[in-house]
Amino acid sequence: MLFGLVFKTVPVLHPGFFPMPKTHFPRVRRIAYEGPKSTNALAFRHYNPDEVIAGKTMREHMRFSIAYWHAFRGTGSDPFGSATIVRSWEKGSDPVSIAKTRMDAAFEFFQKIRAPFWCFHDRDIAPEGRSLAESNKHLDKIVAHAKDLQKATGVKLLWGTANLFSNPRFMCGAATNPDAHVFAYAAAQVKKALDVTKQLGGENYVFWGGREGYETLLNTHLKREQDHLATFLHLAVDYAKSIGFKGQFLIEPKPKEPTKHQYDFDVASGIAFLRTYGLEQHFKFNIETNHATLAGHTFQHEIEVAAAQGLLGSIDANTGDLLLGWDTDQFNTDVKELTLAMVSILKAGGLGSGGFNFDAKLRRPSIDPEDLFHAHIGGMDAYALAFKLARQILAEGKFERFVKERYASFDSGYGKDIEKRRIGFRELNQLVLKKLGEPKPRSGKQEYLENLLNTYLHG
């Protein structure tokens, strides 16, 4: 009995858990799953990492990831004011040792929030030096530290990427810069980013367009810039092959911001770009909710367009503010939007080596370390609930049956002949004139379907 009691008080730890020497979040314990009725704000209500569904744990289904740049480099600063978020570990004069302590705090957070993955840009984790060689040296030191922390905690790298947009040298783009010198510098930086992503076992590598776009055609050769971008991506593929990096390459479309016209506008234009330049077998898409809405699409639309071509790779999980025209990178708690997205993701067979990366930041006044937990708990719970609702929707199959029936005229007869391209305009003309006559309109039943969707969301 006593043994039983003692045993119950021992926390169940993730395999490979190794206690951190010093706690950076003393007021927060490892977040536990307490079920939908829990009123504990620092507990999961829907995300139970150990719950097994269809032979896999929720941890494996969701593959949640923390974005280093927001969670550990975000300061709340905006164009109107300086940092509001000041963390206790951001102290000292040596930027490399601050970077190490920051990373200790980050891995403590990853463990406490129970995220199995993280993502980073090279310059998020290590300070930029006075030369590329010095930057690489800093990066090596921090990557060695990250490797130790990954080993000690079991947290893995979902993807790495290079920051090719913050430094002034990239003000006119990186791969699309009019100066070949900048192209070369960007190539050298991505080479190193690929090396370290491989070293850390990264499962993917992301290219977000950064400043790959333009402000005015008065100074821009659009076609040459697009050609250069494609060359850059081909060179990255070649280099990855040469070092044996097996991770999936991902393109992350965004229509604007920072440049007025970004070349990777949305998934559809991304597909055209990849196909035009023979890159489609090497890349998939990392779809970001806020980027989708900036492009005038829904999140679900972008997922469906990628999935239709077998190019759905990963998700940058966030949301925008529909009243604002820029990338606000907020945590998404809209269960309806996420359920629809999840239906499309599950129908597509999931994300493979991808995951749900919280590319989302705290609002400027959310300055407490606990806010980082509330934010991620909200996002993780909303996604987990959406996952479960989507599974229920698909298991019952009501929408799928409706859609199947709506297109049934293409399943046989002349409809099937159209799909198989066995019939031409002449035959169709004869059919209409001699046999079919006027089509009978059928309701699309949108309102009926919206109400049906609400029965899953609200009972």
Closest to ligand XUL by CB, 63 or 112: 63
Residue 254 contacts ligand XUL per CB under 6 A: yes
Contacts of 65 (CB under 8 A, 6+ apart): 115, 116, 117, 118, 119, 158, 159, 355, 356, 357, 358
Based on the residue annotation, tell me whether 14 is a catalytic residue of this protein: no
Angle at 322 between CA 173 and CA 378, to 5 degrees: 95
How many whole angstroms separate alpha carbon 271 and alpha carbon 280? Answer: 7
Residue 288 contacts ligand XUL per CB under 6 A: yes
Residue 327 contacts ligand XUL per CB under 6 A: yes
Residue 254 near which of Co ion, ligand XUL, none (CB within 5-8 Å, type-dependent):
ligand XUL
Binding mask 208-227 for ligand XUL (x = CB under 6 A): x-------------------
Count residues binding ligand XUL (CB under 6 A). 10
Binding mask 29-58 for ligand XUL (x = CB under 6 A): ------------------------------
Strands 156-161 and 248-252: unpaired
Among 212, 264, 359, 381, binds Co ion (CB under 5 A): 359
Residue 316 contacts Co ion per CB under 5 A: yes
Residue 124 contacts Co ion per CB under 5 A: no
How many whole angstroms separate alpha carbon 432 and alpha carbon 420? Answer: 19
How many whole angstroms separate alpha carbon 90 and alpha carbon 73? Answer: 10
Based on the residue annotation, tell me whether 376 is a catalytic residue of this protein: no
**Residues 351-370, interacting with ligand XUL (CB under 6 A):** 359
Residue 206 contacts ligand XUL per CB under 6 A: yes
- Which is the catalytic residue, given 61, 70, 122, 124? 124
CB of residue 135 vs ligand XUL: minimum separation in angstroms? 17
Closest C-alpha among 162, 153, 166, 174 to residue 21: 153
In the chain, the amino acid numbered 125 is I
Strands (E), 261-368: 261-262, 283-288, 312-316, 356-358
Among 316, 343, 387, 388, binds ligand XUL (CB under 6 A): 316
How many whole angstroms separate alpha carbon 360 and alpha carbon 212? Answer: 22
Residue 156 near which of ligand XUL, Co ion, none (CB within 5-8 Å, type-dependent):
none
How many whole angstroms separate alpha carbon 15 and alpha carbon 113? Answer: 15
Residues annotated as catalytic are: 121, 124
Interface with ligand XUL by CB under 6 A: which residues?
A: 121, 161, 206, 208, 252, 254, 288, 316, 327, 359
